[in-house]
Amino acid sequence: NLSNGKYMPYSKPNNVPLYVHSKSNHPPRILKNIPESINKRLSEISCDEESFKKSTAQYQKALDKSGYKFQLSFSPATSNSTVTDTQKKRKRNIIWYNPPFSKNVATNVGKTFLRILHEEFPKENILYKLFNKNTVKVSYSCLSNLKQTIDGHNKATLSKGREIIQTKDCNCRRPIDCPLSGRCLKQCVVYQATIKSNDAKPDQTYVGLTENTFKTRYSNHKASFRNPSMKSSTELSKYVWELKEKNTDYEISWTILKQAKPYNTATGRCNLCLWEKFFIICKPELSTLNKRNELVTACRHANKFLLKNFT
């Protein structure tokens, strides 16, 4: 109000506040902070206690309906809360572990994780300065709610009928020579290569991915098998050159493990990279040549969305 300088919370007509229920499957800290944060925000945008009480009835009703036993009360901000430190502070490099929270899980995941961290990286360990309770933090994450899960399922089901039918799955001159038996033009795939050699060693396997057609990636693999300067391109090419240097005959067969969507700017998630990491972690028999350090590599499919590529 410009005439008297008073202000209070405003909500649009017919706008009913709705909050997460106190019994929902959310981390306890989040449920505890919901009413406190609402109370703090309403107090900040109220000039005095009278204005606060005039406008908080609907918010109190929404909290009661959501199962919270919390009474909204006016708490003016203290003067020292706005004091900022002008000194430059060193930013710590913190590694966050965000396990999904579920009330169905009886194990204290955060406590167990920190205990394992302490056991595996004691103070005598050379990596202790990188992995300790000050540099590694735990914070539970929330999974999608039931509505989001149902909407996502419905969208995926309905979009199947609208997908553009690919006219060709293979463009090889001789279909019999296709590395994927007539499916070499498939895009956004996680694939597996199986190497059979004439020596006594067991068959070796390699898992890779490509956002382009498999045939494009296959051509790059063949180039790394022929060109000595590209022998270190992948773990697969390293192994092939190892066999070639020993004059060991080998045969490579290819198969598609999964077709998934690449990086999406809306979700910030790349299912293609996630599926590749899943097979390396959970299906080690499918990826005997892959190294564990491949799990920490950043998603390369997000690079095309960087601002520098649009200038």
Share of the chain above pLDDT 70, in %: 93
Four-point Cα dihedral 107, 137, 284, 236, nearest 10: 170
**Cα gap 20→5, rounded to integer Å:** 34
Sequence-distant (≥ 6) Cβ neighbours of residue 113 within 8 angstroms: 97, 99, 138
Please enumerate, as own/partner, the contacts of 226-232 that have beta carbons within 8 Å and a separation of 24 or more.
none
d(CA 139, CA 114) in angstroms, rounded, equals 12
Phi and psi torsions of 113, nearest 5°: -65, -45
Indicate the angle between helix axes 57-65 and 28-44, nearest 10 degrees.
170
Rg value, the chain, Cα: 28
Lowest mean pLDDT among 42-51, 53-62, 75-84, 85-94: 75-84
Question: What pLDDT does 149 receive?
Answer: 85
pLDDT of residue 80: 54
Task: Kindly report which listed range (74-83, 131-140, 255-264) carries the lowest average pLDDT score.
Answer: 74-83
Amino acid code (one letter) for 185: L
pLDDT (0 to 100) of residue 83:
47
Nearest Cα residue to 286 out of 209, 171, 172, 178: 209
Residue 311's pLDDT is what? Answer: 64
- pLDDT at residue 274 greater than cutoff 60: yes
What are the beta bridge partners of residue 193?
206, 254
**How many angstroms separate the CA atoms of 218 and 212, rounded?**
10
Which spans in 167-213 are helix H?
none
* pLDDT tens-place string over residues 68-91: 999 999 988 765 544 455 566 777
Domains of the chain: 95-138 (no CATH), 176-310 (3.40.1440)
The pLDDT > 90 percentage for the chain reads 54
- Give the chain's end-to-end CA distance (angstroms, integer): 46
What is the mean predicted confidence (pLDDT) over 192-208? 92
β pairing state of 95-97 and 136-138: parallel
pLDDT tens string 15-37: 899 999 999 889 989 999 999 99
The tokens for 2 are: 């410009």
Answer whether residue 42 shows pLDDT above 70. yes
Residue 164 has pLDDT above 50, yes or no: no
Give yes or no for residue 195 having a pLDDT over 50. yes
- Predicted confidence band of residue 161 (pLDDT cuts 50, 70, 90): low
Q: What is the mean pLDDT of the chain?
A: 87
Helix (H) or strand (E) holding 49: helix 49-55
Q: How far is CA 178 from CA 197, 239, 259, 299, in A?
A: 21, 23, 19, 29
Helices (H), 210-270: 214-226, 235-245
Asked if 66 contacts 102 with a C-beta cutoff of 8 angstroms, the reply is: no
| 204-248: pLDDT as tens digits | 999 999 999 999 999 999 999 999 999 999 999 999 999 999 999
